[in-house]
Amino acid sequence: MSILLLGANGQLGRTFLAQGGLAARGALLVASRDGMLTDGARGEIADLAAPASLPALLDRLRPDLIVNAAAYTAVDRAEQEEPLAMRVNAEAVSVIGRWAAAHGTQVIHYSTDYVFDGAQPQPYTIDAPVAPLGAYGRSKLAGEQALRDSGADHLILRTAWVYAAHGQNFLRTMLRVGAEREELRVVDDQHGAPTDTGLIVRASLAALDRWRPADAAQRKQLGGTHHLVASGATTWHGFATATFEQALAQGLIDRAPRVLPISSAEFPTPAKRPAWSLLDNSDFQRQFEFALPDWRTGLEEVMGELVRHADGAS
């Protein structure tokens, strides 16, 4: 099997490469926007901001499976760059889906909790009504719809509050800012389940192993949209507090700042965030027989990874 990983330099793409699971399942081709990888190696060039360029790449590589870990994820900037967000998150996905449908290629694609408005006080099921609040959510929803409409054999995996030991994310921002300040003010009225990329990768591979070799009827039943998030719930304030507690416990920091809870109104942003971002992951766990642990498990693992990196650098 030939596998094409798009977005190899992103948080999720880098974790796919680090864990090696895709390479163990087939001949792995990796692509980034400029063809350069974070380790200095060269890969394929796949610029999703230029959707018209993608068919030539796909015609040349002829992958059996496309794992699309690439996306426009600048939530606030998307309010001013919606056309660009749409090209990357929707138009490019449409091109990929139509090519895949024409060539019998399967697609794994990642979406977001931002397709929902966050107004309901219980976890969103996969078939709950969608109503994105901003440009980013609209672009990701359009990408979902485009992939479904393409006719390609696909998995759409919605996730939320994604973070890793690398890249730009909430956890790394908290550790950086916390080292500079005695006190932080963090939003405490937005609810979700922080989900580390290691869990996303392991769960994606488990889903792939059940979905791809299945017969047509079972593959249709297993395919479509699923919610891939850690279990449990917290707020951004709760996530920040737990981050510093874990960092102290594992010796990554010597002191923790005070973390004060504030409302979303006290921390205005260009894009409105869903107040309730919890996704019901029971369908994923049942269909793919893969347990999605509490978010604190992933936090402990990621913190351990940061400690190992720090020890290696010292």
Q: Domain of 284?
A: 2-168+195-231+278-294
| Identity at 107, one-letter amino acid code | V
Q: How far apart are CA 83 and CA 6, in angstroms?
A: 21
Q: What is the mean pLDDT of the chain?
A: 95
269 lies in some domain: no
What pLDDT digit, counting tens, does each position of 169-198 carry? 999 999 999 999 999 999 999 999 999 999
Contact 210, 289 (CB under 8 A): yes
Which tens digit of pLDDT belongs to each residue from 96-126? 999 999 999 999 999 999 999 999 989 999 9
Beta bridge partners, 234, equal 192
Q: Is residue 270 part of a domain?
A: no
Instruction: Answer whether residue 305 is part of any domain.
Output: no
Residue 175 lies in a domain: no
Rounded to whole angstroms, the Cα distance separating 202 from 13 reads 13
231-241 per-position pLDDT tens digit: 999 999 999 99
Q: Tell me, yes or no, if 114 is annotated catalytic.
A: no
Q: What is the mean pLDDT of residues 128-140?
A: 97
Q: What is the pLDDT of residue 146?
A: 98
Is 36 within the bounds of a domain?
yes
Q: 72, 110, 124, 136: which one is catalytic?
A: 136
182 domain residue, yes or no: no
Distance CA 2, CA 18 (A): 18
Give domain status of residue 257, yes or no. no
| Residue 37 in domain | yes
pTM exceeding 0.85: yes
Query: Which whole number is the average pLDDT over 35-58?
Result: 94
Beta bridge partners of residue 276, listed in sequence order: 191
Give the chain's domain count: 1
Given this model, what pLDDT does residue 216 score? 82
CATH at residue 221: 3.40.50.720
**pLDDT recorded at residue 312:** 65
CB atoms within 10 A of CB 36: 14
